[in-house]
Chains A and B, each alone.
Chain A
């Protein structure tokens, strides 16, 4: 948008099972100089959207579709892709409209639709983009001076923080900036304070989210209130929530990701699995409550372990998990808690994160075969075995986050291992190697993941003692070897117990010095 946003060429995806309307809308949208793609089925639409993650700017969908409820489609799109969605219907009943808004629709049009209504839909796209920018910038403000964060921001923002991106947000940001600059003369806008999301803090967050339940209305304010952390701001929560949602969506996507490298698939039931199960709590597996029960989930168990071992085996090598572009390790977290997600995230698309996403290290379980990042973050071999297990659980597919995790800079063995995930055999071997270096696991793993464990936590394993914190935004980006690109935050309204089920150690903190973890962009692994 900085480049000058123009409505011309706006990429619109129109979804309507009525062929007559589809034709008419297509013509109308073309007359608005938009780039139009039509679709008669909701599933098809989702497929298209997932196929080309950044291929569309906005989605217009009818509420009544034969294969899927329009509202469901809306949820999916919102969660997975965070695209603005406009609902349409011939039915203008208030409660229907309200439902649309509740599900996240940015507008609700009544049929017959007029040209003038379509001519302004680009505003939704622009607005959303601006919100994203503000969000990212907003993170930077968080963690500032205590007195600053203690500002009753939640109060200021009042309710409706969910859809607060608007004037309120703008004012808020401005005020924040003012305050920050005032309070810390040395701080420039480029140097932003960060909130360190320790494990405990994240747990609180997750608990709060779960408490709110699987309704998309879990907004930052509500979460903040439930968390009851005095110094935390709504802003902090909002940005964390965004990341979390992104993470969850990635997990979901991963579940559906079918195109994992062959090895990954095989990982599903590898015998090695047992070798690596180092007493890690199994919640990990199901920690990602993706009820979708996608394949990812199935694989999660084995994958994490394997990955963990592999990363463990070669602490020195591992800097960054290999960044396999499209190969993700599917972890199917056999999480049962994914209530909300289950219904919400039937994604089948494999995101293409690698190139565009920052390497956010989410637990080691995100061993995604991603290209190795050049960054040399130390590996936090946090209890690799345990880590792996738990972490692996989430069917995380290497969504960016995973990449972040294991991003061996070079093709060290770890990387190799990871990269070889496609090949069960080599992988197995690696795992073997990995498992042998348990002592340094924790550190090396974490290091490889670009996460640094707090000093207090050393080898051993990841457990609640570990206090991972992650540093968001810039720091992370700065450290990474620039492989990261801005994430597009996804907006998940609800994050069911995914995180809560994950063992604490899944949270990695990032040492400011070398933080490569971009909390902002990554997935949260809890």
Chain B
């Protein structure tokens, strides 16, 4: 996967690459695209909820639970870590902590997105065989 991805993605990502085959030659990229689209929606919801300032921790926790679940799908480990922390703050009812952590969540999310975009770009350039080799 390359050093640039180290730490950002866990073995789940590799599992996805294993699933990629002739039937779905762009499986991983499709999944990633789906993830970012869905997670952007969730981030938006959380943003709005936080902006409201009412801090409905249950609701926030719920959103984050979904977000975390989604992030595990592609193996976004750093994002997951931040999600967990956010949920902890929710449980504690710590608004400040939630706000801070959420910034981190967004940051990691954006970073991962860039890295994956780059990754897939390279993969496309390299060609299918190359991609297979690289992913192994």
Contacts and interface: CB of A to CB of B under 8 A. Distances in A.
Interface of A: 17-21, 23-24, 27-28, 31, 62, 64, 89-91, 111-112, 114-115
Contact of B34 (A20, A62, A114, A115): A20
A234 to B, nearest CB: 41
A112 B73 contact: yes
A221 B24 CA distance: 51
A31 B20 CA distance: 10
Contacts of B38: 18-20
A111 B27 contact: no
Given A21-B73, A64-B66, A90-B72, A112 B31 contact: no
Contact of B73 (A17, A20, A31): A20
Interface in B1-45: 12, 15-16, 18-19, 24, 27, 30-31, 34-35, 38
Given A24-B16, A27-B27, A112-B73, 9 more contacts: A18-B38, A20-B34, A20-B73, A21-B70, A23-B31, A31-B19, A90-B72, A112-B15, A114-B15
A20 B36 CA distance: 9
Nearest to A28: B19
Contact of B69 (A23, A27, A28, A90): A90
A252 B61 CA distance: 35
B69 A64 contact: yes
Interface in B65-80: 65-66, 68-70, 72-75
A20 B65 contact: no
Given A20-B35, A111-B73, A112-B73, A27 B66 contact: no
A93 to B, nearest CB: 11
A18 B15 contact: no
Nearest to B30: A23
A24 B31 contact: yes
Given A18-B38, A64-B69, A90-B68, A112 B12 contact: yes
B71 to A, nearest CB: 9
B interface bracket (residues with beta carbon within 8 Å of A): 20 to 34
Contacts of A18: 38, 66, 69-70, 73
Contacts of A91: 65
Contact of B19 (A21, A27, A62): A27
Contacts of A19: 34, 38
B65 A64 contact: yes
Contacts of B65: 64, 90-91
Which of the listed residues B18, B24, B69, B70 has the most CB atoms from chain A within 10 Å of its own CB?
A: B69
Instruction: Give the top 6 A-B pairs by smallest Cβ distance, nearest first.
Output: A90-B69, A20-B73, A112-B12, A20-B35, A20-B34, A112-B72
29 contacts: A17-B66, A18-B66, A18-B70, A18-B73, A19-B38, A20-B31, A20-B34, A20-B38, A20-B73, A20-B74, A23-B30, A23-B31, A23-B34, A24-B16, A24-B19, A24-B31, A24-B73, A27-B19, A27-B24, A27-B27, A31-B19, A62-B69, A64-B62, A64-B65, A64-B69, A90-B72, A91-B65, A111-B72, A115-B18
Nearest to A18: B70
Contacts of B31: 20, 23-24
Contacts, number: 52
B75 A112 contact: yes
Contacts of B12: 112
Residue of A21, A62, A89 with most chain B CB atoms under a 10 A cut-off:
A21
Contacts of B19: 24, 27-28, 31
A89 B69 CA distance: 8
Contacts of A21: 69-70, 73
Contacts of B24: 27
B79 to A, nearest CB: 13
A112 B66 CA distance: 13
Nearest to B20: A27
A111 B69 contact: yes
Interface string B74-114: 11000000000000000000000000000000000000000
Contacts of A115: 15, 18
Contacts of B69: 18, 21, 62, 64, 89-90, 111
Contacts of A20: 31, 34-35, 38, 70, 73-74
Nearest to B73: A20
A245 B99 CA distance: 50
Contacts of B34: 19-20, 23
Contacts of A90: 65, 68-69, 72
B28 to A, nearest CB: 10
A70 B68 CA distance: 17
Q: Which residue, B12, B19, B73, has most C-beta atoms of chain A within 10 A?
A: B73
Specify which of A17, A89, A112, A115 lies most central, judged by the most chain B CB atoms within 10 Å of its CB: A112
A117 to B, nearest CB: 11
B87 to A, nearest CB: 10
A62 to B, nearest CB: 8
Contacts of A89: 69
A162 to B, nearest CB: 30
Nearest to B19: A27
A64 B27 CA distance: 25
Nearest to A16: B69
Nearest to A115: B15
B72 to A, nearest CB: 5
A414 B114 CA distance: 74
Contacts of A114: 15
Contacts of A27: 19, 24, 27
Contacts of B68: 90
A297 B30 CA distance: 48
B22 to A, nearest CB: 12
A90 B65 CA distance: 8
A90 B69 CA distance: 5
A377 to B, nearest CB: 55
B128 to A, nearest CB: 17
Contacts of B30: 23
